[in-house]
Amino acid sequence: MEVISIILLFVSFFGLLGYGVPVAYSIGISTTLTILLNIAFLPGITTVSQRMTTGIDSFSLLAIPFFVLAGELMNQGGVANRLINFAKSLVGSLPGGLAYVNTLAAMLFGAISGSAVAAASAIGSVMTDRMEDEGYPRPFSAALNITASTTGLLIPPSNVLIVYALASGGAASVAALFIAGYLPGILVGVALMVVAAVIARKRKFASGERVKLSTVWQDFRKAFFSLLMLFVIVGGIVKGIFTATEAAAIAVLYALILGFAYGAITMKQLPKIILASAKTTAVVMFLICTSMAMSWLFSFESIPQLMTDFLLDTVSNPILIFLLINLTLLVVGTFMDMTPAVLIFTPIFLPVVVSLGMDPVHFGIIMVLNLCIGLCTPPVGTILFVGAGVAKISVSKVIKPLLPFLGAMVFVLMLITFFEDIALWLPRAFGL
């Protein structure tokens, strides 16, 4: 019966996905069908309902709607232009400087807003036209913006790292994950800049004008309070002043004050901003509900233990196992949204890597980076479609210029996988 349940679960899930059913519904329906194979109808439906409800009954998850709202306020609050101008004053004078500006601004905005979609939309809508005016092809600009926007999912505050902390069952704390994300996120950004530099030299893209130190200082002052949010939120969590959820609430208040101070948000706009963030939160929470029900089913059917035993018995080389897990997550990321992927595959793979001596925090960063790459690839790459849409070009035109940047991300993924200090040095330094 155990084998039949597993087959039914995965066949129904992938079958529904292939038929075009939304991910959350695919997860919920396949989970319900599998439970009904083992339990009578009424108790089975009750069990699914209970697991969906208790799955989001978590204080830590309250951080998500707050961070979503803070990101929406930042998106509307004039932060993007200030960050772009600051980034341009720092690196815009280098050969191919606007490519570095695009990357750096996307990293900063993604980190502050906690949303790759917001970063791709806000930075892409401004930078694509600016770069085209200076001779950069739109597909190149879009490809760079798409990949750079994902760095905000590694650099805290990041909603997906909070979701992983929940899925790990307490094996990895939010504070440790937040600190661990800094170096890998920065490393991805640097790798993208290196690729952009090579392409810029080859194609002889224009350099920007040199700016005076006074201009750099002026742009820094304008962006200062936006950048300060990172230190307030993450510093408060690490120092134990407040939890991730309390930090998220503070982020909302901070973003609101900043928006009013910049004159970019009015009381009249607030209902629209709150409604937009509520819609995003509803989608994310429904995904978490159904994914948590499926995660419980995995435990009920002992799937994590079966997977651990199978991999350890079949493949004796730990390096090969890590490569297989990375490859699986890369494939998963191409067709599944990040939140359900984290909730579904963490209980399956975490016991395997822990049994091989990998730290849960280290694996969390590896998993998120894998899925970040998936966000940039077809057929379901959310950021790919957002970035192409903002740049007003077809997805097919972005694919070719996207490849070298994806290659850089995969290279960093391999470094982080096999050199754990990249992810764990900072958490250990802070005693987390």
The predicted-structure confidence for 284-338, as pLDDT tens digits, reads as follows: 788 778 877 887 887 777 777 777 777 777 777 888 888 888 888 888 887 777 8
Q: What percent of the chain is modeled with pLDDT above 90?
A: 10
pLDDT of residue 14: 81
Looking at the structure of the chain, the number of domains it has is: 2
Q: Provide the 3-class DSSP secondary structure of residue 95.
A: strand
Same domain, 246 and 175: yes
pLDDT above 60 (res 246):
yes
Quickly state the pLDDT bin for 208 (edges 50, 70, 90).
low
pLDDT of residue 166: 84
Q: How far apart are alpha carbons 383 and 366 in whole angstroms?
A: 19
pLDDT of residue 93: 64
pLDDT above 60 (res 91):
yes
> Which of 16, 33, 55 is the last residue before a domain boundary?
55
Same domain, 48 and 161: no
Same domain, 2 and 151: no
pLDDT of residue 96: 66
Same domain, 280 and 393: yes
> Which of 31, 55, 79 is the last residue before a domain boundary?
55
Same domain, 151 and 3: no
Indicate the average pLDDT of the chain: 81
pLDDT above 80 (res 341):
yes
Quickly state the pLDDT bin for 184 (edges 50, 70, 90).
very high
Q: Are 114 and 157 in contact (CB under 8 A)?
A: yes
Same domain, 15 and 147: no
Q: What is the DSSP secondary structure assignment for residue 153, as one 8-state letter?
A: G
Q: How far apart are alpha carbons 164 and 210 in whole angstroms?
A: 43
Q: Provide the 3-class DSSP secondary structure of residue 12.
A: helix
Same domain, 33 and 20: yes
Same domain, 294 and 273: yes
Q: What is the DSSP secondary structure assignment for residue 356, as one 8-state letter?
A: T
Q: Is 134 exposed, middle or buried (0-12, 13-18, 19+ CB in 10 A)?
A: middle
pLDDT above 60 (res 1):
no
Note down the domain range covering 415.
56-429
pLDDT above 60 (res 424):
yes
> Which of 36, 55, 74 is the last residue before a domain boundary?
55
The token pair that represents 175 in the structure block: 């504070």
Same domain, 337 and 300: yes
Same domain, 80 and 161: yes
Angle between helices 116-133 and 79-91 (to 10 degrees): 50
Same domain, 262 and 300: yes
Q: Are 279 and 323 in contact (CB under 8 A)?
A: no
Same domain, 299 and 177: yes
Whole-structure pTM value: 0.81
Q: Provide the 3-class DSSP secondary structure of residue 274.
A: helix
